[in-house]
Structure 1
Amino acid sequence: MGWFFGGAAMGPDDAGRLVVAVRRVGGSVTAGAGVLLSPGVVLTCAHVVNDALGRAVFAAAPPGRVALRIDYRDRHGTREATGELTHWIPPRRLDGTLPVREREDRVWHGDLAVLTFPRPPEGRMPQTRWAPMRPGQSLRAWSSSGRPGSFADVRVKTCDKSVGYVDGEPTGMSIGPAFSGGALWSVPGDAAVGLVAAHTMPPADPVTGRLLPHSSQHVARRSWAIPWQRIRRELASVGAVGLVDDEPPPDDPAFALFAETIHGIVPSTDLRGDLGRLVAGRCALRHPDDGSAPSPEEFARLLVTEPRALPALTEILRLRDPSAVRQLLAIGRMSPVPRLLSPREYGRLTEILGQLPGSVSARLPVAARAALPLAADYPVEPSGPAAAADVVDRLERLPGDSRSQGVSPRVPGLLRVMEYLAALCSEDRRAGLRLWCDGVAQRLGIPQSALAERRFDADEWAGALAACSGPPRVLVHITRGVLPDRYRLRIWCDEGTGPRQVTTESDRDHTGGEAARLLLHVLESFHRLSPEERRPLVEAVVDRSGLNLPIDEWETWSPDDVVPGVLGAEYPLVVNCPELLRRNERFLPEWRRRWRQLDTGASLRFSGATVGPRQIYGTLMDHQDAVRVAVDAAEHLRDGIVEVCLAVGVPVVVWDRGDESHAVDHIATVTTRELPEGVRSYRAKTVHRPSEYPGRPVLAWADADRPVPQLHLSEPQES
């Protein structure tokens, strides 16, 4: 119920639905009005309940747990419910004694009652937002009848936190008996500020009881109300303050310090109101439009409940009061709520990341792991805006790195990652991302020299990455066709900047020879566009059933060809099965860690006729430095062993899809990083010396640093 609040603005018509009608027992006559505190809870005056029950208006004795008919309104019309009396605060004289004297006492205290619906009400019910009553407020009250024109506009003349006097406008409806217990609504403040309690009627003839002729000396259209300030106190006295009060002070170590600091920084109510309106605007929150200001406590509550409020506040204060920014940010580090970026900074970063080429944005998780090698790992996620937003969300929660100059703030993990990502971008994109980093660093008070050091680290990393990057790739997603021995292909090329699609057909079946011809045609085009001396790697992306496809043996040789074309003999060809890696995502960190140890990790060999998946699993859990596995087991066990190895994150697995172990033995001496070329060399020998080289080797190769196309895979892998 504070100064800052969300949701859509409630106009006068919507606010009128907060007022309900309390019916008299045994009839349809209205006793008075009430206001919805929350869906199913009604606040009204105790004298309205007395009237509904047929008791004396100021009867003080609790009526018991009685039930009354309540008529409330939603967008579809009037509905009926039963409200049970749960809290009773009888009317009492100003000196605290009972009962109130109907003719002698002009004002009184107490006079509140709470009715609760025992069953959930039908339809969607609004909830009242409350604010203090202040002199000068323009308010609107509604009759319990619910008719569209049954409202009265009034202005608060005086308010002493116990009684507020309101005068009606000279035209329109005036407040009368049917208004008692209803809300007084501040349209600019978008909140209720009190309840209508009584109306000052014109003087009457003491004998006949008829109203005397009007005189300019008569009091006209004056009523008095129970201000919100007193409603809170009265409900607290019977243990019901939680029905209308704000939440208790947040259990956040920064709350009290924020309140104290804001009081010192912005002691002026006017300045605090201006600042509150600016912060609310940047955080897409609403606030009263009545010239009021948030209290320091309300401001502090916002900072420990709205994640981007603190950055928005410091963004506004950066040029006005840099020392206050440092103080607020230091307090913010004590709370788990504040995020790093203001709404503007976050929106701009989202815009920049959305404009990056897919080949660059797909490498955001790679840049994050390189920039923050000791931070929490990141799960495999599909690429695109959702993935970028998820990574940014995780990075915002991380503290800065450990290197800083003196007492200067540390460089946040998010800025470091964005510097690493910028190093992978083209010159214009890099400039935009680094300008964004400069702006955030200036707001946080981070020295330019500290950010420049991280920028230098990023450039060095990007240079090393380019120097040791793998060969260019042609990726082919292979699925089985409708007919046996027919295949459907989708092909991408990757010169080192990420996959770019070169074929889109996915519904045409090919024989192995036709598939080889298509792939060789793409490879020829690849050589023309990327004239490197290194042969490109052919990476076949398959599902579990495709691990043993004879892709390397696909061959094309028509009468017009001078030489044959055998894929596995000409090009290093590996298979990659993202499906298995995605089935058990808890092993993704293991996969990345093993891949980083590719040149130093251990090699294992599984052979024999009795080894099974359980033994393989236990061995790999015991040898967590294993990066390469050779499988030389009985054919009926081989595929299961291979799948276990791939599923737990072993990046390199070699086996023979035939029944020979010759290929596995032959390439056992080849270093792990050279395996694609070593297997290609063996496959070439099988073409002209098949009796000496009878093996049919398969090499599964899952590079954790290079993206695999995701949008077209049933089991997408990280980019």
Structure 2
Amino acid sequence: MDPHRLVLIRSGTTRLPRRIGSGYLVAPRLVLTAGHVLRDDESGACWEQIQVSVGHPGLGETLRTGAKLIWSHPQDLDVALLLTHDEVDVPGSVRWGHPVESAPLRYEGLGFPMASGEDGRDAEHLRGVLPPLSCGVRGLYVLDQEHSPDRRDDGRKAWAGASGTAVFCEDHLVGVVIHDDLSYGNRRLRALPAHRFVREQGFEAILRRYSGGPPHITEMGAVLPTARPEGERSSAERETERLLWSVLGGRSSYAVHARALVRRLGYDAPNSHEPSMSDFAALVASHPRALPTLSSTLASALTGDDERARLTDVLTRARAGGLCLLLALDECERLLDLLGGICKKHPALIPRAAREALRYAWLPDTLSRPHLRADDLEPVVEHLESLSDSEPVPECTPPVPALLRLVECVAAALGREAGAELRAWSDQVATRTGIHPAALAERRTDAGRWAARQSSPLARVIVDLSRASTAPHESYHCRILLTRADGTHTSLHDAESAPRTSEEVARRIREAVEIVADELGSTATPHATVLLARDSLHLPVDEWNPGAPNEFVPDQPIGAEFCVTLSCPEMSDLVKSREREHRRRWEGGHTAAALVVDDERVTRPRLRRLLQTTHRDANRVVLHGPPEQRDALLELCLALGVPVVLWDRDAECSADAAALHPLDPTGPLADLPERVRVFRATAFDEPETLQARPALVWEGHQPPPRPASLILQDPPEGDNAS
């Protein structure tokens, strides 16, 4: 990889750059990049102007020139070649590579992600591991980043601009970055392999013309790791060697285990291969599943109880220190295969089991959705490997991983026969890792009780929303509960608790509502209640737009998609009699007349008198009038226990009351939230017809549960817990 060949690409109109991407000079005047960097997403056409800067900005002057698209892939693979207007040449040439073995390779690249700067981009040195086997039907390489940016507060992608980065393994160009992987947060990128486009006839012809010859691809594999000099070795390598000595030191057969592990990890090694303990430690430290895989062959060779206990202790300490994951390679592959079949047959089962069996764990976002795709399983498994279920275990035995608890619940839900393979898998992992049989049996019993219990169906989504006062932009903290008809509830815990934009909050609410809708069926419209402080009741949460749910259905605000109402539990903390009055007004039934406040002369004392005398049983107030009057009267209504309050956010005076008439604000109370939803949907599609912006406080017979703050036990590295 030559930093002098790095290219920054800006594409757009003649007046305004619209896209920033990365590229690499693969021949004089010839820049390799991702195709979407050059295209308008809406029209699909190439932007009319493309400007490039060739060279690393930190290593001297860069050459700025124009460029034009000279080649794109005939089968629409996301790759392209640019021809620069001016002559650009640097010493050396590009070597092309194709990883053909299964062992992970180290990779690196240079790009210009947004996280490295705003308008003036800095070059970022991407580096990490490329596992060749982690690719699906699309055949894209996975790039696991060693260093990754946090999510941006403004909702924009931190990796935007890295597309087009050339990926190198052992100084061979093996692919081009084309997108990030949302299932893994910001830790994983995807790259198009070079062997999928280098041999294309048009590509070969252009390379032959501008570089003097056709591209040649070298098949390559990972180099077996060896120990570095003592002063350069990492703390992980030194600690791994110490742990290996504790279970392998002095064993004449350790080379046999080393050769077996080398082959299992995908390296090619002769039968005579006998690494030193330092070299062996370097190998084990380089792969998070190496030590668990080694232990699966060691466990059968260790006959004494002391040796077996020492191996269990090594595995427990290595996982706690972040030196390895829980599962061996074959265990992980088997579990992904079993769970993948379950995702296809019962896509809602695994997320439901995780939410209910692991209520106090920080779950990945994918488990907070109604369905789990097989493609999202791998990050879910990796996340749960690092967590314990926090339940007691027999003394001096390792904790039970949250992953095993989840697997037992899924197996119990499937039934005795269908879940037998999952239970056998749990037995194998528990035996290898030294988990006490009694601890696993207790989780299995709990799972059976959970599966046998007929849960009350989910009824509503509760969203606790608060402003993020320290965030630089308008953003919010949001916690979500799924409530059931019997009063119980389940929390949706975020793996990421950083402030969210209104669009991100809306997406989270929509995903939660989809979970509830799955259990409600087609008989009812889902309902989300947003808990707000009294100084935030003006927030137009129902108007927040999460974007289109898919490529076919157009976008709309969440308040048009499902019922969104407001609640102010803070008022109950401030007014002790409020809950009593709240219950009394509901118990008066739906026959009490609604109180309509459409006179700007109504003061707070007068409204208090009305609500305590002639409208003592009123459970609904419709507020018209100017904003200052509405705000003061709204708080009074809530303090006096009025459970339903409706107003128009856009109203400037009492004369604007007519804008709410199509809603029939004093009509039947039971379906008022649904009428408001329909009104919002129509107003969004036909703003010239309906111009009101209705806001609705709707507090049911029982106060909504509030998401409680959790006391966390050592959250995994990288998680942000508030």
**TM-score scaled by length of structure 1:** 0.36
Q: When the two structures are superposed, what TM-score results if normalisation uses the length of structure 2?
A: 0.36
Structure with larger Rg: 1
